[in-house]
């Protein structure tokens, strides 16, 4: 499955939300999510989208996921190349890593 997700906040922090688009790898849409999450930072919105996307991909039976993200921070933190210093991101990062373990490849 190909999992594209993004998050944003108007102001930082400010009203925030995320969007997820999951396809089967052949361009067919399998699922989409778009939700507001209240007042949050951009990074919290981005991570929330990743966590929700991974949980949904797992629920849909994916064994492998290709993540399409535009957040260098999240990409580098998920790969373990950058530390997670922001206390608000630590639990979201931990949940994303926990979910990634359930996939054969990501």
User: Mind listing the pLDDT tens digit for each residue in 7-47?
Assistant: 999 999 999 999 999 999 899 999 999 999 999 999 999 99
Task: Read off the tokens for 52.
Answer: 């929700």
Token digits of residue 70:
């535009």
Query: Which pair of tokens denotes residue 92?
Result: 């979201």
Q: What pLDDT does residue 25 have?
A: 86
Q: What is the pTM of this model?
A: 0.94
Please name which of 68, 28, 23 lies closest in space to residue 49, comparing C-alpha atoms: 68
Q: Where are the beta strands (DSSP E) in the chain?
A: 2-9, 14-23, 29-40, 66-68
């Amino acid at each position: 499955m190909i999992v594209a997700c993004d998050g944003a906040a108007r102001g930082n922090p400010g009203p925030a939300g995320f969007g997820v688009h999951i396809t089967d790898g052949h361009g067919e849409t399998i699922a989409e999510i778009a939700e507001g999450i209240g007042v949050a930072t951009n990074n919290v919105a981005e991570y929330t989208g990743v966590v929700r996307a991974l949980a949904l991909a797992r629920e849909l039976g994916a064994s492998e996921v290709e993540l399409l993200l535009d957040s260098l921070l999240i990409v580098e933190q998920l790969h373990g190349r950058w530390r997670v210093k922001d206390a608000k991101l630590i639990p979201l990062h931990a949940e994303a890593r926990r979910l990634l373990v359930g996939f054969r490849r990501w």
